[in-house]
Amino acid sequence: MNHDLDAARDETPAAAPILGNVPGSYALSVFRERHPVLIKQVREALPYTPDRRRALDRLLGEVERDVMEPLEPSAHDGAAWAEWGRGKIGGRWVDQPFLWAESYFYRKLLEATGYFGDGPWRGVDPFGPLKQAELDGPDVDGELAALDETAALSPDERAEALLLGSLWGNRADLSHSATGTAGGGGERATGLVVDDGPLLWALLGDLAPARICLVADNAGRELLPDLVLADHLLAHGLASEVALHVKPVPYFVSDATPSDVLACLRRLAAAPGRAGEAGARLWAATEDGRLTLRAHPFACAPLPYEDMPGDLRGEFAAADMTIMKGDLNYRRLTGDRMWPPATPFAAVTGYFPGPVVALRTLKSDALVGVPERTATELDATGRSWRTSGTHAMIQGSRGQTA
């Protein structure tokens, strides 16, 4: 046990959860603006049959009336959602914790498209057309070709470039492109508000060759550089194994599922130059079990990581280190609460069973470990630095290892 960490946790009372009902808040804009746009986008992306279009229209009505209806009685996971949603379902979307209500929205969207039904839409990813267009697009060609430029760098510079590639890859988030924010809004990326990169490399050096859990976020333009980073760790003896955690079902628009990983592996393996070499090594690593794929159901639960089930906790505990990608994983790691920004990351994540490092561009109000002065200065710029994806953080803790 780490007694300093325990003391810090005891001195850090939990902040209130982020809710959607605060006028002018980012969370409110997600319910009022983003969700209706997403439903319409999904409705047009595939030739849905009349029953599915009616179901999508019903969901749009639910979102517009701002009343959360229960899942269909036949839902395979109805009991779990009824339990998680006790006292919530029937109420307004915006009055519930943001994390909870957003997760429920994506669950309901899958229901409306027939993803879990017995009909022909079963297992059809409603975000598949968006993901495919991104993966086939010219931006990906350019980003893969740019890997050749890392040949001219020193080993340390190359490692840093691959880490930053994975970090800033988190700007590419198709849920934000739907409403023209983060990465799609023409805002320039500016900087890191927290840089625990030295801690990350020190941990990797101390633990090598380490068993790493890499908890992925978005498919396509984010997952490709994540895979390239995983290849770097494996190929340079920093990792003996990488367990890549993804979502079991489509979620938050572009979140990676197992089929998205396979699509990215094929894209990499077919690429020329260094990208193709990384692809070939990752292909072999998958075949011989050094790169493994996990899709735990908790990855789509409406809950923070503090509430993770024992088997998943055991997986993180058995790893030497966990790397958490993206904004949603950060929200779940820190409880999606209105912490004062200077609240120490180690205290908030002290429940996590091992060293953990978050790589995230800032796309929501969840924020810890940022000195008060930095937050005040950035607030004074009048820019939406907390939510627009222009800023990023590498934030870590050695966790309960001492």
Residue count, binding to ligand F1X (CB under 6 A): 15
User: Which residues does 100 contact at the CB level (< 8 Å), separation at least 6?
Assistant: 84, 85, 88, 302, 303
Q: Select the residue interacting with ligand F1X from 113, 218, 349, 397 (CB under 6 A).
A: 218
Residue 70 host element (H or E): none
Distance in angstroms (rounded) separating the CA atoms of residues 362 and 367: 8
**Longest CA pairwise span in the chain (Å):** 60
Contact stretch for ligand F1X (CB under 6 A) within 108-116, 127-135, 311-319, 321-329: 321-329
CA-closest candidate to residue 280, choices 294, 291, 262, 266: 266
Distance in angstroms (rounded) separating the CA atoms of residues 390 and 171: 8
Asked if 97 interacts with ligand F1X (CB under 6 A), we say no
Contact stretch for ligand F1X (CB under 6 A) within 148-156, 279-287, 294-302, 324-332: 324-332
Q: How far is the CB of 341 from ligand F1X (least distance, A)?
A: 16
Asked if 397 interacts with ligand F1X (CB under 6 A), we say no
Asked if 394 interacts with ligand F1X (CB under 6 A), we say no
With beta carbons less than 8 A apart as the criterion, state whether 21 and 92 touch.
Answer: yes
Asked if 217 interacts with ligand F1X (CB under 6 A), we say yes
240-269 residues in contact with ligand F1X (CB under 6 A) are: 252
- Residue with Cβ nearer ligand F1X (140 or 207): 140
23-42 residues in contact with ligand F1X (CB under 6 A) are: 30, 34
Contact stretch for ligand F1X (CB under 6 A) within 198-206, 303-311, 320-328, 350-358: 320-328
Q: How far is the CB of 327 from ligand F1X (least distance, A)?
A: 3
Q: Select the residue interacting with ligand F1X from 326, 353, 354, 369 (CB under 6 A).
A: 326
Contact stretch for ligand F1X (CB under 6 A) within 68-76, 85-93, 306-314, 323-331: 323-331
With beta carbons less than 8 A apart as the criterion, state whether 60 and 40 touch.
Answer: yes
Binding mask 265-304 for ligand F1X (x = CB under 6 A): ----------------------------------------
Concatenated DSSP letters of 198-254: HHHHHHHHHHPSEEEEEE--BSHHHHHHHHHHHHHHHHTTSEEEEEEE--SS--TTT
Distance in angstroms (rounded) separating the CA atoms of residues 132 and 120: 20
Asked if 81 interacts with ligand F1X (CB under 6 A), we say no
Q: Which spans in 220-362 are helix H?
A: 220-235, 258-269, 273-287, 310-318, 326-334, 345-348
Q: Select the residue interacting with ligand F1X from 103, 175, 179, 395 (CB under 6 A).
A: 175
Residue indicated by tokens 């990581």: 305
- Residue with Cβ nearer ligand F1X (100 or 121): 100
In this structure, the number of other CB atoms found within 10 A of the CB of residue 265 comes to 21
Distance in angstroms (rounded) separating the CA atoms of residues 330 and 99: 11
Q: Select the residue interacting with ligand F1X from 113, 322, 349, 364 (CB under 6 A).
A: 364
SS3 label, residue 337: strand
Distance in angstroms (rounded) separating the CA atoms of residues 194 and 61: 41
Q: How far is the CB of 183 from ligand F1X (least distance, A)?
A: 10
| Residue of this chain nearest to ligand F1X (CB atom) | 363
- Residue with Cβ nearer ligand F1X (55 or 362): 362
Asked if 176 interacts with ligand F1X (CB under 6 A), we say yes
- Residue with Cβ nearer ligand F1X (332 or 398): 332
Distance in angstroms (rounded) separating the CA atoms of residues 296 and 312: 8
Q: Write out the residues near ligand F1X by the rule CB under 6 A.
A: 30, 34, 102, 170, 173, 175-176, 217-218, 252, 326-328, 363-364
